[in-house]
């Protein structure tokens, strides 16, 4: 899954693709590099990011979704927690709702998914982007995130979303300390017991530099290293900025027997 941030303030590429034309061109390039999905977002969810109102978010994302859907066949996902934005993006051709609130932040989101038949991704987050890094605490982060995602799966299915239309995301960096992120990444295989595709968004995140203890380290090698570890655990969707580089690493990993037990 290739990331397209149509924002001025995302942590990794804030402003670079804020212009709709630049965002569409970037998405087409990610598709050419081998992205299986394109994820368009118009509101930064980095720690302490300020909320964006629905009209501004619509202004940012709808032209990009329309442009991508008109120019390539790669399925488009809308990264939003607002049902109004999700509806407009689906109308523009998007097929997936990727919601960092687990489809809990807007009471209309679940009914929208049921009504339209859109696929959904429900993510775990402790708090909100404005509060999530204020002393996040867990007794057992792997089991607590597992239990939350199991609850969201069950609630979505009870509401009428088919299980094969649900993906689940442990929410790396969303209300987790470095050690929590590492534990979740090390035990991603646990989530397969929920019977839904697993999506992980670890790309370029701050925990990589903290694990390395190198504040200025290039995050790409770490992103690739984590991607290989996740692929080895069978994670189905890797949400990344650097599609071409990660894809090449995965192809070489597979060619050298990395997916097989010795």
CA distances from 93 to 34, 96, 251 (A): 20, 10, 30
Among 46, 60, 153, 205, which one carries the catalytic annotation?
205
Does residue 239 have an active-site annotation? yes
Whether the CB-CB separation of 29 and 23 falls below 8 Å is answered with no
CA distances from 213 to 94, 118, 188 (A): 39, 41, 23
Neighbours of 49 (CB within 10 A): 17
One-character DSSP codes across 95-120: -EEEETTTT-SSTTHHHHHHHHT-EE
CA distance linking residue 230 with residue 88, whole number of Å: 33
* Cα dihedral across residues 216, 218, 223, 224: positive or negative: negative
Among 82, 176, 239, 247, which one carries the catalytic annotation?
239
Does residue 209 have an active-site annotation? no
How wide is the angle at C-alpha 123 spanned by C-alphas 217 and 34, nearest 5°? 60
DSSP 240: B
CA distance linking residue 141 with residue 16, whole number of Å: 34
Catalytic residues: 205, 239
């Amino acid at each position: 899954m290739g990331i397209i941030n149509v924002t001025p303030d995302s942590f990794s590429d804030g402003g670079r693709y804020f212009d709709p034309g630049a965002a569409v061109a970037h998405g087409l390039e990610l598709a050419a590099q081998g992205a299986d999905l394109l994820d368009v977002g118009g509101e930064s969810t980095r720690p302490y990011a300020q909320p964006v109102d629905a009209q501004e978010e619509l202004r940012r994302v709808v032209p990009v979704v329309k442009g991508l859907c008109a120019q390539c066949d790669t399925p488009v996902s809308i990264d939003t927690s607002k049902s109004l934005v999700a509806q407009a993006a689906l109308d523009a051709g998007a097929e997936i709702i990727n919601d960092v609130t687990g489809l809990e932040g807007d009471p209309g989101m679940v009914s929208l998914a049921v009504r339209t038949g859109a696929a959904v991704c429900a993510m775990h987050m402790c708090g909100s982007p404005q509060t999530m890094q204020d002393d996040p605490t867990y007794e057992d982060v792997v089991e607590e995130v597992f239990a939350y995602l199991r609850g969201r799966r069950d609630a979505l299915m009870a509401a009428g979303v088919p299980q094969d239309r649900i993906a689940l995301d442990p929410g790396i960096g969303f209300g987790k300390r470095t050690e929590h992120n590492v534990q979740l990444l090390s035990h991603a295989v646990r989530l397969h017991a929920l019977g839904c595709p697993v999506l992980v968004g670890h790309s370029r995140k701050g925990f990589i530099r903290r694990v390395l203890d190198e504040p200025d380290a290039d995050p790409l090698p770490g992103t690739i290293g984590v991607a290989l570890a996740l692929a080895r655990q069978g994670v189905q969707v890797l949400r990344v900025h650097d599609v071409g580089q990660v894809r090449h690493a995965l192809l070489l990993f597979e060619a050298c027997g990395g997916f097989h037990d010795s």
